[in-house]
Amino acid sequence: MKEHIILIESDPQISDLIAQQILKPLGYHVDVIESASFITRDINKISPDIIISNLHLPGMSGKDLLVALNSQRIDIPVIVIAPKGHESDALQAFRLGAVNFLTYPIREAEVVNVVEDTLNQLRKRKELENFSQRLLQSNEETQQNTHDYLEILSIGKNLFSSENKESIYQMLVAVAAAKAEADESWLLVFDRGKGVFIVQACSNADSELQSMLNLPYENSLTSLVATSGQIISIDGDALKRFNLVGNAETIIVLPIMHDQEVVAMIAVQRKSKQPFTNHQRALLEAIVEYAAILIENSTHIQKLEKHLFHLQQTGIYHRIDADLKNDLVFQIGKEVQIYLNNLSENLSHLINQGGIRRSQKQADELKSIQLKADVLLEIFNSLINTQQAENKKNLEKTDLNDLVRTVVIRYKRIAQASQISIKSELPSQPTIVTIYASQIMRVIEGLISNAIKYSSPKSGIAIRVEDKSDSVLLMVKNQGEGISENITKSLFNKKPVVYKAESWRFGGIGISLPMMKEIISAHQGRIWIESGYDKGFTIFFSLPHKKTGSN
């Protein structure tokens, strides 16, 4: 017989269509109930496979039915019926636990498809439940096997420390003795330097075997295992021809292989004549396979430790090399800075010295030399500041106003030499942002340097900081020639852009615009340009108030 279906429907035409004309001819056992309250009282007695219920029932609605079933933790698939256009009601029913829905006017094909789909899912669920039941029946044995193998796997908890090799060996023999229900177990490891097997660990061993720890051990049985690479299990009278330690009546010796060679072996023995079961043998083989992995990994770890030590030493030497280079650049910069300062002072004295008649050309050339000396001096000042900033590579709360003031003071001399003024507009309160201060300072230097480079003579540069609710805005505007929109689109590309052949006359020692964009983007900010012909151009960047990520 096919599945039992309960149909809860107060409209006789709908119930007759679904039950009598569609489902019963297909062989389903269908009971029609007009009230949902009845089904909640006698659900355990009726025990249907699925329920089909109209959402809009008098008294207890279809939604109330779903709530009641959930409260009683009754897990029966429910298909709801809703008028066409009331799909939102069906959606609410889904949230309450319905598995499918029908709309009316009722269509025969829809009813058949929805019911069959729901029952197919129910059948699959029952198959899974039956399968789970079969698994539960054998669960006791599975749990024991799982416990055994988990205990074997626990041996590797100290694997990644070479200092714990002895404890790993001891765990191997202890687990082997326990899982094989043996009286004694011991581990031999091959010493390549001496060419012999050494007793490295033992469990429940008598005094004779204990006295052999860390000493060579060999008899005809272990030699046979080492030569053949095969597991050997012997009990009873057959053991008499082997010279074994202790009063063993049953023994199994298992080789541990690495690169097709026997590198170690585990021996497990009993004082009674009782052969090991297939399950115990399988556990011992698992222990041996795991031991082979441990020994192989131990070898790899030793090699890795040597390699890491070499890399560490190499890294130290590379860091020393980098420090030497930085120190050399810093010292050279300081020396050149001294000479350039003297040169600038001498030129200033020469230019302002009275009583010497010079032509206009000579006077202009002296001023040009002084300007270039000032530019060179600023380059080395920036170089030294960069080297000093290498020690400050952490995000820190910084007053952006202070950075602007510092940069403006340093660049005023270059700007004044070119008859260019710099005016800054800063908030009266500190403008705090969390940044890599040395990087943002380099961006501000680059913007002012760029503005000087492309400003017209006797013009001005404006730099302004605005503290907004969610970000900080910095703007640098010059009064030189504007830049076309086509050029502004490519300014932040890594390919160089040439604006004007004479732009070198004021110098330009800051970082490039692509580098500025990289720094600002790393601080989760934005940088852009606004321009117009004969109006100069303005470069903006904004930084968020929140803490930024790493650069």
Task: Kindly list the structural domains of the chain, giving each domain's residue range(s) and its CATH number in brackets, ordered by start.
Answer: 4-139 (3.40.50.2300), 162-276 (3.30.450.40), 392-544 (3.30.565.10)
Q: What is the pLDDT of residues 364-408, one digit of tens each?
A: 777 677 666 666 666 666 666 655 555 555 678 999 999 999 999
Query: pLDDT value at position 249?
Result: 84
H-type alpha helices, 36-101: 36-46, 62-71, 87-95
Q: How far is Cα 223 from Cα 160, in angstroms, rounded to an integer?
A: 31
Q: How far is Cα 384 from Cα 391, in angstroms, rounded to an integer?
A: 12
Q: How far is Cα 549 from Cα 524, in angstroms, rounded to an integer?
A: 7
Ranges of residues in the chain whose predicted pLDDT is under 70: 1, 135-164, 243, 245-246, 295, 297-340, 344, 347, 350-351, 353-355, 367, 370-394, 417, 489, 494-510, 532-534, 546-551
Cis peptide before 105 (omega within 30 of 0): yes
Q: Which two tokens stand for residue 36?
A: 């949902």
Q: How far is Cα 152 from Cα 24, in angstroms, rounded to an integer?
A: 59
Q: How far is Cα 245 from Cα 220, in angstroms, rounded to an integer?
A: 12
Q: How far is Cα 192 from Cα 263, in angstroms, rounded to an integer?
A: 9
Residues in contact with 51: Cβ distance below 8 Å, sequence separation at least 6, in sequence order: 5, 6, 8, 39, 65, 76, 77, 78, 79
pTM of this structure: 0.38
Q: What is the pLDDT of residues 188-201, one digit of tens each?
A: 888 888 889 988 88
H-type alpha helices, 355-436: 360-389, 400-417
Pairing of strands 471-477, 432-435: unpaired
Query: pLDDT value at position 335?
Result: 58
Query: pLDDT value at position 305?
Result: 62
Residues in contact with 348: Cβ distance below 8 Å, sequence separation at least 6, in sequence order: 370
Q: How far is Cα 447 from Cα 407, in angstroms, rounded to an integer?
A: 10
